[in-house]
Amino acid sequence: MEKKTIYVLDTTAFIARWPLYSPIDVKLVTTENVIREVRDKYSREGLELATSLGRIEIVNPPREYLSMAKRIAQKEGLDKNLSLTDLSIIAVSLYLLDQQNSIVIVTDDYKLQNIAAKLRINFVPLRTRGISEIATYKKRCIACGYTAVLSEDTCPICGSPLKLVKTKKTTRNKA
């Protein structure tokens, strides 16, 4: 059986009205969280038209995949930088991958692209160039330079806030 390619749409896709211009023979999936983020009139009209044409399927990931997405974000130090909507995109992508599908995430969110790249999930940016390097993050004290574990928010040495910083970049092989 041939793998089916499914495009998982982040809010960017609806702001750009991409579902109305995407190839007719591709499957487009999003989550309820994304639908709730589409608020401006122009984007909402595009969403409603795409939905009425049967172009969009709403898939909410099972809880275990949302938990998996949260663990991945935490491991990467991005748990406080990704919204519930971003996590739902990761979760539904992992869920659909487990069903033997090929996934492409449509997003301009760099941190979401970074996690997708680390998970070897393809992504397509619409209004940006997209990431060219995969970043690894650490937390560092803005005052004394202490390098913290990712779960810390305050420096144990001086009490200053910790900032998320890129520490390592690797070149991304574009598919």
pTM: 0.84
Domain boundaries, the chain: 5-124, 133-171
Provide the sign of the torsion angle of the four alpha carbons 126, 127, 131, 132, taken in this order.
positive
Say if domain 5-124 classifies as CATH 3.40.190.80: no
End-to-end CA distance of the chain: 22
Helix (H, G, I), strand (E, B) or coil at 153: coil
**For residues 165 and 41, which has the higher predicted lDDT (pLDDT)?**
41
Whole-number percent of the chain with pLDDT over 70: 94
CA distance 61 to 39: 22
Residues 152 and 53: their CA atoms lie apart, in Å, by 47
Residue 175 scores a pLDDT above 50? no
Q: Among the residues of the chain, which ranges form H helices?
A: 11-15, 18-21, 32-37, 41-52, 63-75, 84-98, 110-118
Q: Is the pLDDT of residue 60 over 80?
A: yes
Contact 125, 108 (CB under 8 A): yes
Looking at per-residue pLDDT, the higher value among 43 and 1 belongs to 43
- Over residues 70-123, the pLDDT tens digits come to 999 988 888 878 999 999 999 999 999 999 999 999 999 999 999 999 999 999
